[in-house]
Structure 1
Amino acid sequence: MAGIARYDDIADFYAAGWTDDIDDPASRRLLDLVGPVAGRRVLEIACGHGRISRALARRGAEVVGADLSAALIAKAEAVERESPMGIRYVHTDVTAGPAASAGLRELGAFDVVVCSFGLSDIDDLDGALATTAATLRPGGVFACSILHPCFPGAQEVSGSWPTGGRYHDEGWWRADGELSSLRRQVGANHRTLSTYLNALRRHDLWLDEVAEPEPAPEWAARRPDAAAFPVFLVLRCVRG
């Protein structure tokens, strides 16, 4: 595996903190933008412990989940064994070029590819999007959610880029906000909005709809300084 499986060491923490209750605004909007999936073949990249994969399967999709973390894939497979939904999980590095694309294409072309808050975990954005485009059928949908690249953070909440840094300073970093428990452990790749949009265009993934869902009202009420800014970004693209 060429990538770094940062989640292997925190698999228990992550699975406990992000349950199958799809009640956060970004995940709900992501599933809305994907649209009806009954009878469609869906690939989730950076699937983690399978939270979104299971939500898609419950909506009638034929789902394959792929992730670099062997520990998270093991958790996803354990849930599948206990409550079978027909989901297939694959331990793979989706940035590994033609080898990754070929391995996933052997499972058949996909109608939809989804990535929930995973692109900032992936160091090689172009590699991941190349695999996405290679596994999608023409006219297929790619939908993703990320922390908004323009979110500057606020008291106790880390933003998209390092404290004391600038929006235009791209690169991997580790958060220091007290409430940013996940990103303090695994870090994140900050990229500007233009970097994301231009990368999608390079890989023939054409922007079709954009959403900037507001955080949950209770979260916003506790952190009005953070909620004054865009927090989430959800994109729907169509493969040319």
Structure 2
Amino acid sequence: MRGARYDAVADFYDAGFSDPRDPVLTTVLDHLGPARGRRVLDLACGHGRVTRELARQGATAVGVDLSGALLDKARAQEQAEPLGVAYVHADAADATELKDESFDAVVCNFGLADIDDLDGAAATVRRVLRPGGLFVFSILHPCFAGTALVAGTWPADQSYYDEGFWVADNQSAALRRQVGANHRTLSTYVNTLSRHDLLLTATSEPSPPAAWRTDDRRDAARLPVFLVARCVRLDRR
């Protein structure tokens, strides 16, 4: 299995991204609906923050990630506070370890930009979801180029239409300066989902934190920063 960019920053990521219920995740969970009694996959689960929240809400939760270092942290948390979460070390774009049509829902919180093969990831989601199952994901809004203080999904000195992998140089983008990100247009996301029978049924654009409107990030607060979407898996067999 190929290495993961997050292996080198596992300690940094675990220390800085542990809030179990930030506003965007709250929106993701709202789109998912009641988790209790459902089998839910957390795609690109990292250190298990979202996976564990799903388990706390009553889901049978499974997390999958390419980073063995982050999964070690997730499993350590599970050992310290057992919630019945299972973790799978696999590439989201080729997770053959996951059985076909074995999940009621899949969530991916800010993970799609870290997955190089979006088409492969969408194929995995379609394959592991039961017909009628939901795929709910959050991303930085593809239209958000960022500002001097807040990094966006593409370099501010380039074009929205220039897709590809890039590494931020914005000093406030502590994570993206280390692991980079894949920028894709909104149409690329929607068309890729459609090719894999994932019908977009709802979207939300959560507001940035209220504090941004009164500090140096007020320019970013006027723009679409986050996007949350819900899809349903069609049955075209």
**TM bracket (short chain):** over 0.9
- Tell me, yes or no, if the aligned pair for 2:7 and 2:70 is still in contact at 8 Å: yes
Matched residue, 1:224: 218
- State the TM-score, normalized to the length of structure 1: 0.94
Task: Give the secondary structure class of the aligned counterpart of 1:42.
Answer: strand
Matched residue, 1:234: 228
Deviation at 1:221, TM superposition (A): 2.5
Q: Out of 33, 36, 51, which is 1:53 matched to?
A: 51
Task: Give the secondary structure class of the aligned counterpart of 2:228.
Answer: strand
Matched residue, 1:140: 133
Give distance in 1, aligned partners of 2:181 and 2:89.
Answer: 21
Task: Give the secondary structure class of the aligned counterpart of 2:168.
Answer: coil
Q: Out of 24, 27, 30, which is 2:28 matched to?
A: 30
Deviation at 1:95, TM superposition (A): 1.1
Deviation at 1:220, TM superposition (A): 3.4
Kindly provide the amino acid, as one letter, of the partner of residue 13 in structure 2. Answer: Y
Matched residue, 1:213: 206
Matched residue, 2:4: 5
Kindly provide the amino acid, as one letter, of the partner of residue 28 in structure 1. Answer: T
Q: 1:130 and 2:85 equivalent?
A: no
Q: Out of 41, 51, 59, which is 1:43 matched to?
A: 41
After TM superposition, the structure 1 = structure 2 runs for residues 132-211 of structure 1, keeping only pairs within 5 Å, are 132-211=125-204
For the aligned residue pairs, the C-alpha RMSD in angstroms reads 1.1
Q: Which runs of at least 4 in structure 1 moved beyond 6 Å after TM superposition?
A: none
Kindly provide the amino acid, as one letter, of the partner of residue 51 in structure 1. Answer: R
Give distance in 2, aligned partners of 1:45 and 1:211.
Answer: 20
Task: Give the secondary structure class of the aligned counterpart of 2:149.
Answer: coil
Q: Deviations over 1:13-63 (max 9, x none)?
A: 0011011431x2211101110110101000011000000001100100000
- Tell me, yes or no, if the aligned pair for 2:147 and 2:156 is still in contact at 8 Å: no
Matched residue, 1:68: 66
Shift in alpha-carbon separation, 1:46–1:232, aligned structure 2, 3 A? same
Task: Give the secondary structure class of the aligned counterpart of 1:132.
Answer: helix
Give distance in 1, aligned partners of 2:32 and 2:81.
Answer: 24
Aligned residues between the structures: 233
Q: 1:78 and 2:71 equivalent?
A: no
Give distance in 2, aligned partners of 1:141 and 1:84.
Answer: 26
Task: Give the secondary structure class of the aligned counterpart of 2:112.
Answer: coil
Task: Give the secondary structure class of the aligned counterpart of 2:114.
Answer: coil
- State the TM-score, normalized to the length of structure 2: 0.96
Kindly provide the amino acid, as one letter, of the partner of residue 156 in structure 1. Answer: L
Task: Give the secondary structure class of the aligned counterpart of 2:98.
Answer: helix
Matched residue, 1:115: 108
Deviation at 1:158, TM superposition (A): 1.6
- Tell me, yes or no, if the aligned pair for 2:92 and 2:115 is still in contact at 8 Å: no
Percent identical across equivalent pairs?
Answer: 58
- Tell me, yes or no, if the aligned pair for 1:48 and 1:67 is still in contact at 8 Å: yes
- Tell me, yes or no, if the aligned pair for 1:152 and 1:229 is still in contact at 8 Å: no
Deviation at 1:144, TM superposition (A): 0.2
Give distance in 1, aligned partners of 2:214 and 2:87.
Answer: 38
Matched residue, 2:99: 105
